[in-house]
Chain A
Amino acid sequence: MTRRVAIVGYAQSNHQYDMPLPREDMVFEVVKGALEDAGITKKEVDTVVSASTDFLDGRTISGVFYGMAAGAYLKDESKAEEDGTLALYYAFMRILTDIYDVALVEAHTQGSCINPHQVSFYMLDPLFDRQFNVLNDIATAALQARMYMSKYDVAEEDIAMVAVKNLANAASNPHAHRRMLDVTPEEVLNSKLYYEPIRELTMSPISDGACALVLASEERAREFTDSPVWILGAGSCQDSYLRDRNLHRLESLEKAAQRAYEMAGIKDPVSELEVLEVSEKFAHEEMMIYEALGLCREGKGRVLIEDGITSKYGELPVNPSGGALGADPVCATGLIRVIEAAKQINGEANGYQMPHACRALAHGQFGLCAQKNVVFVLGGE
């Protein structure tokens, strides 16, 4: 890498259903918070990159509307459609160009304004899949779950254990939406069924929320803070649309992770990472994510859950913040993972701080059955 880039400030909202704030105000609060956390004002910012989708924002070219709230007034500005990790990826690249030194990254969604699952219908192929009128992101995730379960002999009980872990973890995270300290596997297995095996508690909730972070080149980062969180590696990859694709494994995540590991010089993620924050929009996906990230062999994700290795007290904690099952403000979810990972490195995760977190991984995804994946490896001084 030609230049080192660091995260120097961040903020997120208290994710919830039906936040009593307009989108613009919500964006303003987190952007202001991130700038304050970095100890700078918008004057220092060279470029603003945000992430959302026009569909969920309810207007086209939606960036022009919340741009002022995001601090983009008369500034270089751009919007990434989909997940916030993509916005971070673009901002990261912009700083690597040497043209920009400080970037502000923002991502948000208010799921209460329009049901994201309803919108997901329009992600489907209009020629074939939309014609059935029964498919959406939940239904396709159910296709994926069934395929994965039958291939690797995974039971619904195993999937429920992922939900139990993350929902209980979310209880100690004040920003999380669905906080369930005492949730039991039975409760998960008896929660409302959508498309078998997907249930209310094995899929992410519909949340309103936003987050923002400030990114800076090494020189500027050292001016702003004594505890920069470095981006050591980054990778992004997209798989094909549903049909021409091995649904039971996340091949694009595998590739994205390989790229990020290579850049960060990571050979063995299990021994070299201390904590991971991943975007499991459905509980079964977390096990698939373990496999794609190289934490275990293919089909063995369930063992990490069974043995408690990825629990808060395990050897390799995954989603101590509660993950996407804890809160899912669609486009913000991946960027929240990055912020949670940075908090772990800075020792700021009050109530769910993992010991000796020097290197962390954050993952964001978008598309049906996690078609597109982004991975960041972060590290402290």
Chain B
Amino acid sequence: MPYIKEERPETLSVEGEWAYGAHVYKANTLLDEFCEGLREKKLIGALCMGCGKVIVPPRAICGRCHIRMEGRQVVSDRGTVVSYIVSPPMVKGKYKMLGMDPVELGIVKEGESLVPGHVRFDGSDSPYNLPILNARPEEVRVGMRVKVVWKEDLEGKLSDIEGVEPIRD
């Protein structure tokens, strides 16, 4: 990443970096179950048998009850926007998400904003962070009804969910 190197008149500096390499992030097998569900356009949540909460995307442990979330619950792919963000207008080469340029990728046009949303699907007790697509930023509001935009060819991966879009019926 190109930093602007400022002159430091008061101190000397040496070159250095703070990048310690690849890390293995181990996931619970719940992630497999969730991804398998996506192949059939199903959102499989984890159900806590202690407090009855349904968490989507699922997690293995309920911190509230301190037990494993043994239950499974399929929730609707329709939900409600709980909160959202409107990004600054995207400019090619200026912003990167996960190392990729959203303008270059065609996710957003030059000068337009991205709208990441905090979406709670019907039947779930937790919000899922997904981009709100096919909507002008000024028409997005808290409480807006949305549905999943599924990828055309489902592969059983997290990327099968492209985002959500407003329900316009």
Contact = CB atoms under 8 A, between A and B. Distances in A.
Nearest to A114: B23
Nearest to A131: B14
A73 B26 contact: no
Contact of A25 (B20, B28, B66): B28
B61 interface: yes
Interface in B2-29: 14, 16, 18, 20-28
Interface string A96-118: 00000000000000101110001
A113 B66 contact: no
Given A28-B61, A41-B66, A42-B66, A58 B21 contact: no
Interface stretch (A63-71, A80-88, A343-351): A63-71
A114 B22 contact: yes
Interface string B102-135: 0000000000000000000000000000000000
Interface in A7-31: 21-25, 28, 31
B25 A58 contact: yes
Residue of A23, A68, A71, A130 most packed against chain B (CB within 10 A): A68
A25 B25 CA distance: 13
A284 interface: no
Contacts of B28: 22, 24-25
A127 interface: yes
A114 B20 contact: yes
A13 to B, nearest CB: 14
A177 B25 CA distance: 21
B30 to A, nearest CB: 10
Contacts of B22: 114
Interface in B88-113: none
A131 B17 CA distance: 11
B154 interface: no
A110 B18 CA distance: 21
B26 A113 contact: yes
A71 B18 CA distance: 32
A24 B66 contact: no
B73 to A, nearest CB: 19
A337 B18 CA distance: 32
Interface string B59-97: 011111010100000000000000000000000000000
A127 B63 contact: no
Interface of B: 14, 16, 18, 20-28, 60-64, 66, 68
Q: Which 8 A-B pairs have the closest CB atoms?
A: A68-B63, A73-B63, A58-B23, A22-B26, A113-B24, A126-B16, A42-B66, A114-B23
